Chains A and B, each alone.
Chain A
């Protein structure tokens, strides 16, 4: 794995350059009223590695995901995927280019069967065009191939026995598995998982972790958001830390706990010192400004 061999050479600092990045973001900003939800100066995601994106609640991780995948538009910023600029590219085109995401709240399509969910993931289906849909002989053979691939993936994700059940009858953890398997049906180059382990029981968690590793072995890059530090330490090759919309630190997973900026972000910069009068004044003022700005936005 390129990630493992080169990890030692990458400096543990925010926005550090990496060899062969698949995703590069520059100056991506997103403002919600007075709140700057995302303000990323520079970040690179390495190809062939598992990169974890962590940060306290409200750090802007999911918003950053939405921006990168075209589900939301940034106010400013440029980012490239595999050397191609993705600014103002709609979400469905981003997915077609090979950058596929999952959602924090799983979007297993309840009233479709597990198999139908899987088949939906396949790209460039002839039968998805309206006119050729009317002529089954045009797409039937392709459909069979897709079904075979789906069966194979379902087996790997231990969902084969649920093949013909409605996805709505799956447990929360199984839905996470299904969503990941469905995303893999499109043969992505980069898969972006938003909290893949949330709400998954420990037994299933272990197999999900194995799956994520397998995905990397198959040559797919992985970027995932996660709160569970054990998971992050366990499988990620590199960790990027966000707080208040910014990338505040990057490092190998073993060293992340020793990073002062990370500790401050999670526990507060002054967790061991009383606020000075001036500092309190300054914080109050900035809060008031934020509220005023929000009001203006509303009006």
Chain B
């Protein structure tokens, strides 16, 4: 068993591209679900809007990156209006149904043949990150600590990504401590109460959906730039559920919860995968029971099992406040 490599890969994954993408998606989700109580099961639609915003503008229309980023912000805002205006009057469970359908519609539209001239259908778009890496001020070489090192471009990408995660976290912190955030939390508890006190609940829900959506869209922008490609089938429902996993793992309605949760989720996945692979290769696990190809599936089972145990024994997540969960007047 090569524990050093296992640990190296675990930590690399816990702070890498997935962490940034899913972290941003989960931060947005935390605003939607953790603070406003909107059961949004279509978070991936916002991620896709950000990714396709930047990809189409840069790759299809050959425009500069900053315009792509603007499109990556404008598209999720439009999506929030399109998705939110007709559905935010619905009760939580209906909102979940509508948003999951909405996100599938976004994916199917992106891969539809009739839009091939813009999105390139199911093949997607690629090679549009040139502008981003051209901005890289970091000289060539490897950076990092211990065995966790990255080349200059990866370091540049990670620094930008971490900055975005930090800024999004800060934004949520400021918003949630403001009277605006107080109204959101009151909507989560019981929206009739703020309504009876003169708050326009509908507008607050729409704002929450838009802000959380734009934060998730930045995850999409980073996803697109990091992998230098967008493919519609990367934006299916599993992305939403992974973001929920990260959120629940870290602790809902906690400002740092989704960030820690995303790091833990991807760290855990890498840890179980590499440990299992090592164990199979070293013969600790007989090849009749599991081969290295099956490791990829088994790791999800194990992490899923872990999440179940967490929900049973520590439902508030790692950083949640038990006090808040134990109280439920409804």
A interface list, Cβ under 8 A from B: 69, 71, 90-93, 95-96, 100-103, 107-112, 116-117, 119-121, 123, 125-130, 133-134, 136, 139, 143, 166, 168-169, 182-183, 185-186
Contacts and interface: CB of A to CB of B under 8 A. Distances in A.
B8 interface: no
Q: State the 10 A-B residue pairs at the shortest beta-carbon distance, nearest first.
A: A168-B327, A127-B179, A133-B180, A95-B198, A133-B178, A109-B189, A107-B193, A96-B198, A110-B329, A128-B179
B183 interface: yes
B178 A136 contact: yes
Chain B contact surface mostly: helix
B324 A111 contact: yes
Interface in B183-207: 183, 185-186, 188-190, 192-201, 207
A92 B174 contact: no
A133 B175 CA distance: 6
A91 B324 contact: no
A123 B190 CA distance: 18
B2 interface: no
B85 to A, nearest CB: 15
Given A139-B178, A166-B323, A168-B329, A121 B185 contact: no
B220 interface: no
Range, interface on chain B: 20 to 34
Given A92-B199, A95-B197, A107-B190, A129 B180 contact: yes
Contact of A69 (B179, B193, B196): B196
A136 B174 contact: yes
A129 B324 CA distance: 26
A103 B194 CA distance: 12
A133 B179 contact: yes
Contacts of A182: 197
Contacts of B196: 69, 71, 91, 95, 100-103, 107, 183
Contacts of A107: 189-190, 192-193, 196
B129 to A, nearest CB: 31
A120 B328 contact: no
Interface in B11-48: none
Contacts of B183: 120, 128
A183 B197 contact: yes
B182 interface: yes
Contacts of B53: none
A260 B180 CA distance: 53
- Kindly name the residue among B192, B197, B329 whose own CB sees the greatest number of chain A CB atoms within 10 A: B197
Nearest to A179: B193
A262 to B, nearest CB: 30
Contacts of B328: 110, 168
Interface string B307-325: 0000000000000000110
B161 interface: no
Given A168-B329, A186-B198, A120 B192 contact: no
A134 B327 contact: no
Q: Which one of A69, A125, A133 has the highest number of Cβ atoms from chain B below 10 Å of its Cβ?
A: A133
B229 to A, nearest CB: 35
A103 B192 CA distance: 9
B261 interface: no
A119 B182 contact: yes
B181 interface: yes
A127 to B, nearest CB: 4
A3 B253 CA distance: 49
A143 B195 contact: no
Contact of A112 (B186, B198, B199, B207): B186
A130 B199 CA distance: 13
Contact of B207 (A95, A130, A139): A130
A64 B330 CA distance: 24
Contacts of A123: 197-198
B6 to A, nearest CB: 40
Interface string B153-175: 00000000000000000010011
Contacts of A109: 185-186, 189-190, 193
Given A110-B328, A169-B327, A120 B175 contact: no
Given A92-B198, A96-B198, A110-B327, A139 B193 contact: no
Given A120-B194, A134-B174, A92 B201 contact: yes
Contact of B179 (A90, A101, A139, A185): A139
Nearest to B192: A107
B37 to A, nearest CB: 10
Contacts of A127: 178-180
B235 to A, nearest CB: 28
Contact of A120 (B178, B186, B200): B186
25 contacts: A69-B196, A71-B196, A92-B199, A95-B198, A100-B196, A102-B196, A103-B192, A103-B196, A107-B192, A110-B327, A111-B327, A112-B182, A120-B183, A120-B194, A120-B199, A123-B198, A126-B179, A127-B179, A128-B179, A128-B180, A133-B180, A133-B181, A134-B174, A169-B327, A183-B197
Contacts of B186: 109, 112, 117, 120
B178 to A, nearest CB: 4
Given A71-B192, A109-B190, A166-B324, A120 B197 contact: yes
Greatest chain B CB density within 10 A among A91, A111, A127 is at A111
